[in-house]
Amino acid sequence: MNPASYWLDTAPPFIGSSPEPVSGRYDVVVIGGGFTGLSAARTLARLGVSVALLEAGKVASEASGRNGGHCNNGLAHDFSATAAAHGIDRAREMYRAFDAGVDLVEEIVRSEAIDCHFVRSGKLKLAAKPAHFDSMRRARDVLAREVDDDTAIIERGDLRAEIGNDGYHGGLLYRRSAMLHVGKFGQGLAGVAARAGATIFEDAAVTAIEELAGQYRIGTIRGTVVADKVILATGASQHGPFSWFRRRLVPIGSFIIVTEPLGENLARDIMPGGRTCTTTQNIGNYFRLTPDHRLVWGGRARFAMSSPRSDLKSGEILQRQLRAVFPQIADCRIDYCWGGLVDMTQDRLPRSGTHRGMHFAMGFSGHGVQMSTYMGDLMAREAVGQDVANPWRDLDWSAVPFHFGKPWFLPFVGLYYRAKDRWS
């Protein structure tokens, strides 16, 4: 198995990185070259703002290029629970931000002619237990009444038109959701930002941020820049001067395997609906097909950080899960196996605002393709003084108790969620 991300391995390389030392003065410096930072850099450059982007490695090479390739609308939470916690108006604003995120990704793909196989496929959430399907019915009634009537219940007897497995008890379809090749989208977005005028420095890990008379001096391993404004788009970075954020984000490994090309007939047999799919377990799975008829199968598998050894162990678990759901392809070859880090918040809601005068957007908790792109654009506009409606404004963001950056407690969290999956 290739330990690389399928998306990164099959995307053309970005060739617009500046080879010069990191230096100069900019209106805005963006730290982080995933979808959040690239989207912010694109917007700023198109607004005529001088902008530099600093990426520790290669653009879109971490969470943005190591996910399942889903671009889904809908909250990670039950809408009614979100409304109870934050009020119905704020819950609607949060939900609609995900809709707007999918719309923005599509608008960028279309207007910038990024060839990344973007398709409005719809997302199907599959009920693993009868009780989960009962909850889905109630949830869909609330969604249709309050915020999204473009959803539908799929009865168990109708699931065969969507998925070649009889083990699920029904589904909830979100028609606005999409899928795309995230590697090609990331490289394309970087190219668009660079052509618009953004200076992109790869292999430029940030080592220090210093405030100087209303400006910021940012040190990197390749030099130093000065900026009037800073946008932090670092996600779950484990290095650099971001300890305030590390105490508030839990980096959780998420793991993915990709099959060999299955052929059109076999791919249609296992996934006739062609949707992005997720399951209702806390430690569940997410999956979809690629344009060349591979199955992309992901999940938490193990509550552990991503590393070569951890990715391989998780891949073995994912293979067993895949074969149990789709025995039709039990003998297929697995071509790719990799892991990545999800920047999880305690309540699984994103965070975006200012810290020490710097703008930030992160904590997308596994729903980052659409929301990171959307929030990067929003933070860019906020940084230049535009009035924007930030759906995550004023949310409390306390440090996780006894967490100082290394998530020592993940095995215990895994045991808790496995117990919930078994008994709920």
Per-chain mean pLDDT for the chain? 94
The SS3 call for residue 336 is: strand
Give per-residue pLDDT as tens, 309-330.
778 888 899 999 999 999 999 9
Whether 338 and 256 have beta carbons less than 8 Å apart is answered as yes
What's the mean pLDDT in 141-166?
A: 97
Q: Cα separation of 349 and 390, whole Å?
A: 13
Q: What is the pLDDT of residue 76?
A: 83
Asked whether the predicted pLDDT for residue 301 surpasses 60, the reply is: no
Which ranges of 301-406 would DSSP assign to H, the alpha helix?
308-325, 368-383
**Cα 149 to Cα 136, 175, 176, 178, 306, distances in angstroms:** 14, 10, 11, 17, 38
DSSP-based helix, strand, coil % in the chain, nearest 5: 35, 25, 40
DSSP of 231-257, one letter per residue?
A: EE--TT--SSS-HHHHTT-EEEEEEEE
Asked whether the predicted pLDDT for residue 331 surpasses 80, the reply is: yes
**N- to C-terminal Cα separation, the chain:** 35
Whether 317 and 307 have beta carbons less than 8 Å apart is answered as no
- Structure-token pair, residue 256: 């993915």
- Structure-token pair, residue 409: 């407690």
Asked whether the predicted pLDDT for residue 405 surpasses 80, the reply is: no
Q: Which residues neighbour 327 within 8 Å (Cβ) at sequence distance 6 or greater?
A: none
Q: Cα separation of 183 and 65, whole Å?
A: 5
What backbone phi and psi angles, to 5 degrees, belong to 338?
A: -150, 170
Exposed, middle or buried: residue 152 (CB in 10 Å: 0-12, 13-18, 19+)? middle
**Cα 143 to Cα 97, 225, 362, distances in angstroms:** 15, 47, 26
**Cα 417 to Cα 24, 228, 270, 300, distances in angstroms:** 49, 44, 28, 11
pTM for the whole thing?
0.95
Q: Which pLDDT band holds residue 53 (cuts at 50, 70, 90)?
A: very high
Task: Report the interhelical angle of 88-111 vs 79-86 (nearest 10°).
Answer: 120
- Structure-token pair, residue 111: 């207007």
Asked whether the predicted pLDDT for residue 376 surpasses 70, the reply is: yes
* For the chain, percent of residues with pLDDT exceeding 90: 84
Q: Find residue 305's DSSP bridge partners.
A: none
**Cα 44 to Cα 27, 34, 351, 383, 386, distances in angstroms:** 9, 15, 21, 9, 12
Q: Cα separation of 124 and 147, whole Å?
A: 18
Q: What is the pLDDT of residue 302?
A: 60
Q: Which pLDDT band holds residue 417 (cuts at 50, 70, 90)?
A: low
The SS3 call for residue 8 is: helix
Give per-residue pLDDT as tens, 346-365.
999 999 999 999 999 999 98
Q: Cα separation of 312 and 195, whole Å?
A: 39
Whether 156 and 139 have beta carbons less than 8 Å apart is answered as no
Q: Cα separation of 172 and 153, whole Å?
A: 5
What backbone phi and psi angles, to 5 degrees, belong to 333?
A: -80, 140
**Cα 380 to Cα 36, 48, 360, 409, distances in angstroms:** 10, 12, 10, 35
Q: Which domains does the chain have, with CATH numbers?
A: 6-414 (3.50.50.60)
